[in-house]
Chains A and B, each alone.
Chain A
Amino acid sequence: MIDVLITTVFLAAVYSLVALGLSLTWAGLGFLNLAQGVSYSAAAVGAYEASVHIAGNALVVLAAGIVSGALVGLVIFFLVFLPLDGKPNFDLRTLIATLAIALAGENLILDKFGPQPQAFPEIFGWLPTISIAGTNVTSDQLGAVLSAIVLVTAFVLLLGGSRIGLGVRALTQNVEGARLVGIDRRTAAIAILVVSGALVGVAAVLLGPVYFVSYDNGLQPMIKGLTVAMLGGLGSVRGTVVAAVIVAFVEAMTATYLGADLVLVSLFLLIAIVLLLRPRGISGILETTRA
């Protein structure tokens, strides 16, 4: 049971990172970013290359992941948001455009990186392996949980306490009201997409040692991220973190007691049940935002 809890904390931390960006992009900008998985793959590959060509220490690898993920966010801003903002059928067209970027990006990475999965370097090797009630927590798990907690906390503080953060929160609540107080949707869009990409980049680096690095490894985390964002009620930070914990727990329980191949099945059941009980997610503001 202890190992289930340890896995839960680890996965919850990583899924929060992926889902927060998706959630905020939907609530603040009104589109579902299906290219989030490319940010993940690009960050994993970028971090891997940095570890091979520059240095394998945690700071360099993390920075490379953050920068690669954020760059993909910037690409999405220029290729999707800027040309489509204010056009009719914005939500549908952005869905198609981000899907196109997801497919093109994956193939671009396949072309450059090759189909062969690579082993990710151990970046938190300098941390101790600790033992909780007889179960070992590897240094990578410990490093991942600590970094994720620090980053999610920083993100929440930035969103809640800074001027730009207030602008983004206002934008998720009332678009016209936001314009009337001087909030520029484009500036907010850059901030949201770059920060989302960076957070996903961190998630990619943290999950790197667990999975191999390959061109298509962004898909699974994005599916989980979407699940978490949706369960949390798109747009709510607290809801997203709570949902990440629930999803991670269900995943860890399923993988341990029923088998890893049933994880997506149990997650699908979880979505169905939660959305039946609370159609707007755990603390959804979906309807007030979109109305």
Chain B
Amino acid sequence: MSSALSVRGLSAGYGPLQVLDGIDLDVAERERVGLVGLNGHGKSTLMRAVVGLVDWRTGAIDSGGRTIMKTPTHRLAREGIVLIPQGDSLFPGLSVRDNLDAGAFAPANWRKRAESRERVVQIFPRLGERMKQIVGTLSGGERRMCSIGRGLMAEAHIYLVDEPSLGLAPGLAETIVRTLCGLDLGGGALVLAEQNRTLVEGRIDRIVRIHAGKVASIEPGTPAQEPA
């Protein structure tokens, strides 16, 4: 079976700074992986390195059996490797609807954008009431929903979601993470970076702990299911 993502010996960083130090990570098709670890230890950099948004990287990254080290970021997005970044990276002057539609920019997704939008509204009904509103005027929580919704507008092999709970009130943070973990992603895999591991525990297949730019441990997602 081919893997959704396979990372081998990945080191990466920004300028003279090295953040990742020989990371290995495998994500199977349809698998849900939680990426936990403290702030500044490389969760975001790992995700950004996969889609080529770091200054430099060495090692190997494959998806579906093919190397993606040389593929530019915009093409990866079209080929179904979708990053939902920390800080949302939305288009503040455009409406919620335009932001969502932009998520379906790849021609194959563009044709299905009305259906996909409907699906996103089912997941986040709040966005349905805000379709025509300019994104810059949304609340932080609504913006996060819009950002995740924009990512879900694309049919992907793998969704990389970077700290979806960041900056949200605890209740809303939990709702967002629970919603994300419970989604039917078609054939897509999910990698979810989260500083607060209790948020993902019990909702995910595996937990990968990143520490100081390395994989510190790989554990089953639900402690209770751990074979003795």
Contact = CB atoms under 8 A, between A and B. Distances in A.
Nearest to A164: B105
21 contacts: A163-B107, A166-B105, A167-B105, A169-B91, A170-B98, A172-B93, A173-B92, A177-B89, A177-B102, A178-B74, A180-B51, A180-B85, A181-B77, A181-B103, A181-B154, A182-B75, A182-B78, A182-B105, A182-B106, A184-B72, A184-B75
A278 interface: no
A116 interface: no
B185 to A, nearest CB: 17
B212 to A, nearest CB: 26
B93 A167 contact: no
Given A177-B89, A179-B53, 6 more contacts: A174-B89, A180-B77, A181-B150, A182-B75, A184-B74, A288-B136
Interface string A175-191: 01111111111000000
Interface residues of A, number: 20
Interface in A150-172: 163, 166-167, 169-170, 172
B181 interface: no
Interface of B: 51, 53, 72-75, 77-78, 82-83, 85, 89-94, 98, 101-103, 105-107, 110, 136, 150, 154
Contacts of A177: 89-91, 102
A270 interface: no
A149 interface: no
Contacts of A163: 105, 107, 110
A263 interface: no
A166 B90 CA distance: 13
Nearest to B80: A182
Nearest to B73: A179
Interface of A is mostly: helix
A28 to B, nearest CB: 12
Q: Which 10 A-B pairs have the closest CB atoms?
A: A173-B91, A177-B89, A182-B77, A182-B78, A179-B73, A182-B105, A170-B102, A184-B74, A181-B105, A179-B74
A285 interface: yes
A45 B83 CA distance: 49
A166 B110 CA distance: 11
Nearest to B77: A182
A179 B136 CA distance: 19
Nearest to B147: A177
A180 B101 contact: no
Contacts of B92: 173-174, 288
Given A173-B93, A288-B92, A288-B93, A181 B73 contact: no
A190 B172 CA distance: 43
Contacts of B83: 180
B149 to A, nearest CB: 12
B102 to A, nearest CB: 5
B91 A180 contact: no
Contacts of B77: 179-182
Contacts of A176: 53, 85, 89
Contacts of A181: 77, 102-103, 105, 150, 154
Which of B72, B93, B154 has the most A CB atoms < 10 Å from its CB?
Answer: B93
Contacts of A288: 92-93, 136
A229 B50 CA distance: 39
A177 B143 CA distance: 14
A46 B223 CA distance: 75
A165 to B, nearest CB: 10
Contacts of B107: 163
